[in-house]
Structure 1
Amino acid sequence: MSRLIIKDLPEKLNIKNFQREVSSYGTVTDFQMIHTKDGTFRRFGFVGYKSKEDTDKALHNLNKKMILNQKIKAEICNSLVKSSKKHANTTAVDGALLGKNNSADLTFLHSKMQQPKNDKAKQLSGLNVSYDEDRLFVTNLSSSCTVDDLQLLFASYDSKVQINIPLNTRKQCIGYGFAMFSKPSYCKQACLNLDGSIFQGRQLHITPAKSKEIDNKNITEKKKPVSEKTPNNKFNTLFIGTNSIANVIAERVKCDKTFLVDGAGNKTAAVGVALGEAQIVKETKEFLETNGVSIGSFNDNHSERSKTVIIAKNLPLSVTSSELHEMFEKHAKLGRVLLAPSGVAAIIECLDASAAKKAFMKLAYRRIHHKPLYLEWAPVSIFDNKISSEPLNNNKIFVKNLNFKTNEKNLKSHFETVGEVVSCSVAKKKRAVTGELLSMGYGFVEYKLSKDCTAALTSLNNSKLDGHMMKLEPAQDKHTAPAKSSESSKLIVRNIPFQANDKEIEHLFKSFGELRSVRLPRKIKSGDDRDLHRGFAFVDFMSVENALNAFNALKDSTHLYGRRLVLEWATT
């Protein structure tokens, strides 16, 4: 506990001097001297400290201290015991927290309540107010409370809880906040256990949050996507639209865009745009790495997302870094603003999580010049320069036979006994009917150091977690060049659009070196499908070096006729 009750204070105590004294022991978040209604001092008060260490220090110094020839008492202030009838006069709170077990008592109480005479009175009295089952309203927070502090408090009930704390102009908490849970049951449990508890020296008051009022009549079909946007949107970070690629290429070669559409030489427009995209993506990656951005953090779509760093996509070619800075600084104080050389993507770093969320919600899908602005939260390790330079497949473990109830938190805790874990994920799929995410019984664990990965494969293989004996294997990333790539010159290209032909695939890969062969397996000749290929191809280069250059240039984000090409090394 971080709150003290001070008893037996002198009647003629100088409040300001006493407040100055208790502040010398640590950061005070709450200070109250209790008086009666007529102003008579009741000779006791409360002092709240931000940390338990400050509280212990104050308790040691204040207890049995002599003030004005009178010995005072200092004791730890315990949380108030929750009453099961605390919200008995509020229908919505009973429904959200207590259920319908006390329906007879509620009926009796409601029969004794005076009914408002009009709709406005009903709204003011709270009878017509609806409450969320998965969102809590938290009050009596200290001014120094942050999103991370409140996140840590509720994380034991729901690891995916989302916290929102309004701030004043000085970037301080104004005394209240909101917590949104992934399930109503988590919300109910957190409210029952934490309401009345001591947090940072203050007694928390937690109630279900009122539902947001939305006027559906005024929401047009065009505006609905904007109102329904959430901070969890994920786009292919390195994806660049075909039109943007054509604009960039035309600007660089000083020609009209129609020249690219008509094709140049033997290359079709699709091949020209694909090669242009590969070049632009390469330049973007080099620019980001030069500025301390971890490109590897973009590969994991299930990784934790940052609360302060935003990725802006679909930018017009003419946009400038200063223009983006001016747009975002209206809503938040900014750190780094990185605009790619092609001008189609940018990374914006905000200094405050609450202001970053406000900027995200205000600017998402906002028109900039003539294009809508696409925003996405960046991975949490986007500016992590400490990521090991060793290949990822040396440090990653494939974990099989997981219990379907095992989550990422338990899995990470189990493997952290060996060494530092960089990332941990459990493979999941959506249930067709409800859309609920279900575990598939396997996952991946990545260590920072290869020696820890090797030790885990030895010591944790066949170990038990949640009653299941796990099987561990070194993870094989098929999209990364294997050790034998130095001996292979053949690539498998998947996800090829059906309108692409052999010549286009040949022209695309011939730009990286001389080819030995290009083969697109065809479907069995029958009906209208007799001329269609099967959507993948084998490309064999004359040299291993040229094959490696093509793999590195096209593997990240190369699109042909709007479909992203997937490159793998052929094993035979």
Structure 2
Amino acid sequence: MHVLPAAHKRENQLDEFAISKLPLKKQNLIRKKAEAASNTFNWNSLYMNQDAVNASVADRLGVSKSELLDPTSADAAVRQAIAETSIIQETKAYFAANGVDLNAFKSHQRGDTAILVKNFPFGTNIEELRKMFEEFGTVLRVLMPPSGTIAIVQFVQPAHAKAAFARLAYRRIENSVLFLEKAPKNIFTEPTLPSAKDDRPAGVQKVSVTELLERDDDPDHQLETSSLFVKNLDFKTTTEQLAETFRPLDGFVSARVKTKVDPKKPGQILSMGFGFVEFRSKEQAQAALKVMDGYVLDGHVLSVKSSHKGLDAAEERRREDVARKAAGQRTKIVVKNLPFEASKKDVRALFGTYGQLRSVRVPKKFNSTSRGFAFAEFTTPREAENALNALKDTHLLGRKLVLDFAEAEAIDAEEEIAKMQKKIGGQVNKVSLQQLTGRGRQRVNIGENGDEDEA
């Protein structure tokens, strides 16, 4: 037994004041770690065995894998990436058509009844997988796309799914090893198959999908908060007048008219033509909505709606317009996690499949090696969006590409370096010129009285 003195647990949580005293490099490192901890985990749940992808594409084309991937060709990696992209797009379409929520793959939470099955040999059919998993319990459904490169198996009981996961993970099947992963929580948008027994309590009526959709369209069922949004106010209507109008209603708490500072007359306040009214409960706000919608105040017919989460409706609409306008102007994609072996030609060949490229840049280091990222600019925003959606799950030379729209205000590192070099070069030339013409500025005496001047 070896006993050592214990030390207190290190606390890495520093406030901004403590961080500001650290060196700049240390500050940036701490902030990057904090951002990495808060960002979503970039895991590709739709990862597929590259050999199975190539076998599936070759089988469709009626050729061998050796013919599909020419070893003498320099763009074999790009061909593999394009083949994988097509298979992933087909897989997504198949899963979406069979009640799978694709947005669930972005979630951290994992379910307890569904399993993602990967890396099984190409040619394995859906019945073989069902028979393999049914040994551990009742299987509710098995989904396998036509490509046959990935599958989803859903059990009825979580205990059966847990047992199958423990026994079948990394089991060797022919010349491959089976990879299993717990599927995301709420992966299916459709409810499970109906059971013969109805467990609803007596007196509870079953609601159809049509009735639910009608409820969603009904304003009375959209009220989520106790706040009401009142628009079409007269610009002369004050907060006091709005409060006096709604005060007789049951549950009234407060009212306010949204205002802003007059840009032409600093110090004066202007009404924005809308406001908010608070009530104690949702029921009271709902009753007020029915009564006051269409009420005439100062010659204006009021339009009263539910204020979702208390957001400023005008501000929310403005943000949506700005985001929509910015999305329509985004044509440049930044490609991160790019393999260092990938060339500019590879990036152009891969992204050129989805639209006409205006430019492609692969920044280099001083030793002419890649920095691990690139920029691809398309001629239209639609082409850029299509390429981003198609290639966001694609692997190139074993690395998953991380794609995002490049920010308009982003600083180009190469351009900044070129500007710095040009500036330093100008200063060097100026110093060299001074050395050639003399010692630069020096003090000389003019006249007999010894007056000093500079030359």
Secondary structure (helix, strand or coil) at the match of 1:491 reads strand
- 2:98 counterpart of 1:262: no
Q: Aligned AA for 1:455? A: K
Which residues of 2 match residues 372-387 of structure 1 at below 5 A? 372-385=177-190
The verdict on how the C-alpha distance between 1:269 and 1:337 changes in structure 2, with shifts beyond 3 A counting, is same
Q: How far, CA to CA, are the matches of 2:71 and 2:356 in structure 1?
A: 21
Q: Aligned AA for 2:351? A: F
1:195 match: none
Aligned counterpart for 2:152 among listed residues 328, 347, 353: 347
- The answer to whether the 8 A contact 1:314-1:373 is kept is yes
Deviations 1:357-411 (A, max 9, x none): 111111111122321111111122101349xxxxxxxxxxxxxxxxxxxxxxxxx
- The answer to whether the 8 A contact 1:249-1:276 is kept is yes
- The answer to whether the 8 A contact 2:75-2:346 is kept is yes
- 2:83 counterpart of 1:276: yes
Which residues of 2 match residues 6-405 of structure 1 at below 5 A? 236-262=44-70, 268-300=75-107, 302-303=108-109, 305-385=110-190
Deviations 1:487-510 (A, max 9, x none): 221111111110110000011111
- The answer to whether the 8 A contact 1:235-1:376 is kept is no
- The answer to whether the 8 A contact 2:334-2:373 is kept is yes
Q: TM-score, normalised by structure 2?
A: 0.51
In structure 1, list runs of 5 or more residues that go unmatched.
1-233, 387-416, 419-450, 459-472
1:534 match: 371
- The answer to whether the 8 A contact 1:518-1:538 is kept is yes
The verdict on how the C-alpha distance between 1:453 and 1:279 changes in structure 2, with shifts beyond 3 A counting, is farther
- The answer to whether the 8 A contact 1:284-1:342 is kept is yes
1:522 match: 364
Q: TM-score, normalised by structure 1?
A: 0.41
Q: How far, CA to CA, are the matches of 2:102 and 2:325 in structure 1?
A: 21
Q: How far, CA to CA, are the matches of 2:113 and 2:307 in structure 1?
A: 31
| 1:261 to partner: Cα distance | 3.1
1:510 match: 352
2:395 match: 559
| 1:269 to partner: Cα distance | 0.8
- The answer to whether the 8 A contact 2:49-2:118 is kept is no
Structure (1 or 2) with the greater helix fraction:
2
1:54 match: none
Secondary structure (helix, strand or coil) at the match of 1:330 reads helix
Q: Aligned AA for 1:567? A: L
Q: How far, CA to CA, are the matches of 2:308 and 2:377 in structure 1?
A: 35
| 1:255 to partner: Cα distance | 1.7
Q: How far, CA to CA, are the matches of 1:263 and 1:295 in structure 2?
A: 35
| 1:457 to partner: Cα distance | 6.0
1:486 match: 328
Deviations 1:342-363 (A, max 9, x none): 1111111111122221111111
| 1:262 to partner: Cα distance | 2.3
- The answer to whether the 8 A contact 2:333-2:406 is kept is yes
Q: Aligned AA for 2:79? A: G
- The answer to whether the 8 A contact 1:263-1:272 is kept is no
Q: How far, CA to CA, are the matches of 2:384 and 2:57 in structure 1?
A: 25
Q: How far, CA to CA, are the matches of 2:65 and 2:307 in structure 1?
A: 51
| 1:253 to partner: Cα distance | 1.5
Q: Aligned AA for 2:346? A: E
Q: Aligned AA for 1:260? A: L
Count residues in correspondence: 252
- Percent identity reads 40
Structure (1 or 2) with the greater strand fraction:
1
Secondary structure (helix, strand or coil) at the match of 2:48 reads coil
1:568 match: 404
The verdict on how the C-alpha distance between 1:455 and 1:511 changes in structure 2, with shifts beyond 3 A counting, is same
Q: How far, CA to CA, are the matches of 2:307 and 2:59 in structure 1?
A: 48
Deviations 1:438-467 (A, max 9, x none): xxxxxxxxxxxxx99951667xxxxxxxxx
- Ranked by relative contact order (alpha carbons within 8 Å, sequence separation 6 or more), the top structure is 2
In structure 2, list runs of 5 or more residues that go unmatched.
1-41, 192-280, 283-304, 409-455
- The answer to whether the 8 A contact 1:493-1:536 is kept is yes
- The answer to whether the 8 A contact 2:119-2:179 is kept is yes
Q: How far, CA to CA, are the matches of 1:275 and 1:339 in structure 2?
A: 21
Q: How far, CA to CA, are the matches of 2:90 and 2:329 in structure 1?
A: 28
Deviations 1:62-113 (A, max 9, x none): xxxxxxxxxxxxxxxxxxxxxxxxxxxxxxxxxxxxxxxxxxxxxxxxxxxx
Q: How far, CA to CA, are the matches of 1:455 and 1:334 in structure 2?
A: 41
What is the RMSD of the two structures over their aligned residues, measured on CA atoms?
3.1
- The answer to whether the 8 A contact 1:295-1:382 is kept is yes
Secondary structure (helix, strand or coil) at the match of 2:69 reads helix
Secondary structure (helix, strand or coil) at the match of 1:262 reads coil
| 1:335 to partner: Cα distance | 0.7
1:192 match: none
Q: Aligned AA for 2:309? A: A
1:38 match: none
| Structure 1 stretches of at least 4 aligned residues deviating more than 3 Å after TM superposition | 451-454
Q: Aligned AA for 1:539? A: A
| 1:284 to partner: Cα distance | 0.4
